[in-house]
Structure 1
Amino acid sequence: MPRKILAGIGLALSFAASSGAGAATADDALVARGAYLAKAGDCIACHSAPRGKPFAGGLPMNTPMGRIYTTNITPDPETGIGNWSEQDFDGALRRGVAKDGHNLYPAMPYPSYAKVRDDDVKALYAYFMKGVAPVRQANRASDIPFPLNMRWPLKLWNVVFLDKAVYQDKSGKDVAWNRGAYLIQGLGHCGSCHTARGIAFQEKALDESGSAFLTGGLLDGWFASNLTGEYNVGLGRWSEGEVSQFLKTGANKHASAFGSMTDVINHSTQGLTDEDITAMSQYLKSLPASGGTNAPRYAYDPNVTKVSLAHPAVDAGAKVYTAYCMHCHGVDGMGFAPMLAPLAGNPNVMEKDASSLINVTLNGTQDLVIQGLPSAYPMPKYAPTLSDKQIADVLTFIRGGWNNGAAAVSVEDVAKLRKSTQAAK
């Protein structure tokens, strides 16, 4: 065979090999990008059951109609999404419609994911098809009774409440603000928990144009806190750096994460780049105050509790506090932030709705795990130790202490939440 022909064949083979390597590199980059976006969306937290395989579903979620279970989104072709096309994936992610045509419950935050851009959907699809291990695990039917379990009304729900518009950068805002808005409103789906819902379970606002956006919301026994610039119960006293610190570590000098926010920190925000965290913080700090009370701006006053905590403690709540709380949160209520949360001036303590305080006292907190290290001092659960009255007394004391100025907690509210959270286990 002539030497020129051999050289030509060699050049062609070399070109084909290099093209294949380039394609593989491009695919790998797309999968890696999708993995990052899935982290931003905290997909693993909802689609993984305790002690279950990642993304295999089965996590119970309580809704006003009954309990549903998250689905298997691994690439298993029989029980997961392995035989879904990118169009099928997009339909579920941004429109709330599964491959077989049934509508998803809006517990799946597709009204937020509708804002996700096409190239990010493509990257997410690549990740779930090629970067996630397939798990054979059948999906579990919901516990919602007939006729409430019929899905066709969700088509009407989507017509009324689903905005299909992809996020568009706002003119007059810089790159970081728009990136933060895109993450908060879209993949981060912060409004799913932190925005109050209407009678049809719809979020009352999907972006900063609505006054209810991120003003806090009650969901599954927790009150997700106000993220606007409200001074007492929101982020009004937080600096942009302190917001970033909270998103990276789950704690700062003002508060610590609890409830489902612990999963957000553990699985999502601590793994985002500093640039994205800064962008999210900048966006949140730009939101005007909304959803608060008419109470005066908080100012710390230790004298409010000094007499109550004198030895011996003089009222019922103070007695419980000195026995069970003071060693971590201090006589002065300042705790030892960020390791042990302050109670004085804590926005969650001052919030009108005391559900989170009751819940965390009854059931404690999961461990924050930052860079592989669990928190040294998680909140213990006191449901087995304290009565409903003791919890109501101590929370009333805390909400009134150090000039917090929040309303008393009733025994009935504690009993109700104890019953509902125990039933959910």
Structure 2
Amino acid sequence: MKNTLKGFGAAVCVALPFLTQTSTAQAADAALIARGAYLAKVGDCTACHTAPKGKPFAGGLPMTTPMGKIYSTNITPDSQTGIGNYTEEDFAQALRAGVAKDGHNLYPAMPYPSYVKVNDDDTKALYAYFMNGVTPVQQANRESDIKWPMNMRWPLKFWNMVFLEKGVYQDKPGKDVAWNRGAYLVQGLGHCGSCHTPRGIAFQEKALDESGSAFVSGAPLDGWFAANLTGEHNVGLGRWNDQDLQAFLKTGANRHASAFGSMTSVINNSTQNMSDTDVAAMTTYLKSLPPAGGSGAPPYQFDPQATKVSLNRPANDAGARVYTAYCMHCHGVDGRGFAPLLAPLSGNPNVLEKDASSLINVTLNGTEDLVIGGIPAPYPMPKYAPVLNDQQIADVLTFVRAGWNNGAPAVNAAEVAKLRKSTQAAR
């Protein structure tokens, strides 16, 4: 009996370190997967790789490019149709170099020119999450609508040779921890430049960081205009303080503007889920960017007087008539709305922007719901495409862009008709 107890005790002594090591490894794996889940939210992976009413990360979302539509791919760990057979090296190659496991090049609609800056530790965490924290979905990838010969992928090898700047982000000397963390997030996983930086003739971003003046200076995007994120006073973030920008990233609205278009998805799926520390770091970096873009107009100064006179006599102005009937109850006589619930129009950077695409699009098609903490915003912008004709929308937007000292260019009916046609065809 004594020998038996001794043997049992010895077995326990041998097993305890093994069990402890196993438990520690499992905890480490769980922590790595959880970190990967957080980073996937920072990168807003769900926005592109989850189609409306589709299963998470199963792909199939259509994206419009100058050459035609492409469809996002299945990045679930399904071994037949997803990335279940990818090694960590394969995953890193696709993420940071735009090359799939079978060797074909990805279109740069996949923001690998930004993701190339993601460091090895974060890449490892993302791989752990997509392999172990995502439900496999068997769903075949859809071929693009791009016609031959433009659908050939081998020229992308040369595109990468010219435009892909290889290497993970390196901290800038002379900058503090918050600035460098913000730069890493904005330039890398956040891939802000993919939407907010104008592109050249080869679809390349004209700048990939703050060393280029075009970086995040605003750009047309699939029927919208992605806003200027530099320090420009009128159309950028020049009048926003740190609290304004942090509130926007967390809730999609502040005293200056509200999110619309694809930015709604960014708020819903990405930035509201980021830590306060990371949001503050992004704010530090973005607020450090010097002014770029804009029209060169003098700094905006609110002046309601002339607009009030016009609204008192709407019969004299076609745009004022539409405004009083459809807009004034939410956006006010003074154009200041009831921020952050109802967006202001006076001094709104999107109203002051020369490119009126976003104003036309949001008036035609409204906005998707901002959903913060699981609660939809109470007053989304309704769609007026079924209610107002092209001339009426042109009139009211011209009125808004001239009102309250906004001083932005007029909108014509042809611009509205063009966007109506393209956005309705996409639905």
TM-score normalised by L of structure 2? 0.98
| Other-structure match for 2:81 | 79
Partner of 1:393: 395
Report the equivalent of 1:380.
Answer: 382
Kindly provide the CA deviation profile for residues 55-78 of structure 1, in whole angstroms up to 9, marking residues without a partner as x. 000000000000000000000110
Same amino acid, percent of matched pairs: 73
Residue 7 of structure 1: how far off its partner (Å): 2.3
Rounded to whole Å, the distance in 2 between the matches of 1:3 and 1:297 is: 86
Matched with 1:180 is 182
Q: What is the SS of the residue equivalent to 1:223?
A: strand
Equivalent AA in structure 2 for residue 237 of structure 1: R
1:308 aligns to what SS in structure 2?
A: helix
Matched position secondary structure for 1:338: coil
Deviations 1:6-42 (A, max 9, x none): 3222111111111111110000000000000000000
CA distance, structure 1, for counterparts of residue 222 and residue 145 of structure 2: 16
Q: Which residue type is aligned with residue 219 of structure 2? A: G
- RMSD of Structure 2 on Structure 1 (CA): 0.8
Deviation at residue 253 of structure 1 after TM alignment: 0.2
* C-alpha contact 2:186 2:192 (8 A) present in aligned 1: yes
Alignment of 1:285-324 (within 5 A): 285-324=287-326
Mapped partners of 2:387, 2:102: distance in 1: 49
Counterparts of 2:101 and 2:118 in 1: how far apart (Å)? 19
Number of aligned residue pairs: give it.
425
Q: Which amino acid aligns with 1:215?
A: S
Hey, what's the Cα distance between the residues in 1 that align with 2:47 and 2:405?
37
Amino acid at match of 1:22: T
Give the equivalent residue in structure 2 for 1:140: 142
Cα shift readout 1:66-111 (whole Å, capped 9, x = no counterpart): 0000000000110100111011111110000001111000000000
1:3 to partner: Cα distance:
4.7
CA distance, structure 1, for counterparts of residue 312 and residue 128 of structure 2: 62
Counterpart AA for 1:145 = K
Per the TM alignment, residue 423 of structure 1 is displaced from its structure 2 partner at its CA by 1.1
Consecutive unaligned residues of structure 2, counting only runs of 5 or more, are none
Aligned-partner Cα distance in 2 for 1:363–1:3: 77
Task: Report if aligned partners of 1:74, 1:129 keep a CA contact under 8 Å in 2.
Answer: yes
Equivalent residue in structure 1 for 2:38, among 28, 36, 59: 36
Q: Structure 1 length normalisation: TM-score?
A: 0.99
Q: Describe how 1:20-31 pairs up with structure 2 within 5 A.
A: 20-31=22-33
1:214 to 213, 216, 223: 216
- Please report how far the alpha carbon of residue 122 of structure 1 lies from its aligned counterpart in structure 2 after TM superposition: 0.2
Q: State the partner residue of 1:369.
A: 371
**Pairing partner for 2:357 from 351, 355, 358:** 355
Distance 2:286 2:143 in 1: 37
Determine helix, strand or coil for the equivalent of 1:296: coil
2:318 equivalent to 1:325: no
**TM superposition shift of 1:2:** 5.9
Q: Which residue of 2 aligns with 1:202?
A: 204
Q: Report the equivalent of 1:164.
A: 166
Distance 2:186 2:306 in 1: 38
Unaligned runs of 5+ in 1: none
The structural deviation recorded for 1:311 is 4.2
Displacement of 1:314 in angstroms is 2.0
Secondary structure at the residue paired with 1:67? strand
Report Cα offsets for 1:331-385 as digits up to 9, x if no partner: 1000000000000000000001000000000110000000000010000111111
Contact 1:31 1:126 in 2 (8 A): yes
Could you tell me which amino acid in structure 2 is paired with residue 378 of structure 1?
P
**2:311 maps to 1:337:** no
State how far apart, in whole Å, the 1-side matches of 2:247 and 2:371 are: 14
Q: Give runs of ≥4 in structure 1 deviating > 3 Å.
A: 1-6
Q: CA deviation at 1:329?
A: 0.3
* CA distance in 2 between partners of 1:165 and 1:400 (Å): 46
Query: Any idea what SS the aligned residue of 2:310 has?
Result: coil
- Is the Cα–Cα contact under 8 Å of residues 94 and 113 in structure 1 kept in the other structure? yes
In the alignment, which residue of structure 1 is the partner of 2:412?
A: 410
2:114 to 101, 104, 112: 112
Question: SS of the residue aligned with 2:174?
Answer: coil
Contact 1:313–1:322, Cα closer than 8 Å, also in 2:
no
Equivalent position SS for 2:128: helix
2:178 and 2:195 map into 1 onto residues whose CA distance is 23
AA partner of residue 170 (structure 2): Q
**2:238 aligns to what?**
236
* Shift of residue 5, structure 1, vs aligned partner: 4.0
How far, CA to CA, are the matches of 1:373 and 1:275 in structure 2? 23
Moved more, 6-15 or 381-390: 6-15
Give the AA of the match of 1:154: L
Q: Is the 8 A contact 2:314 2:320 kept in 1?
A: no
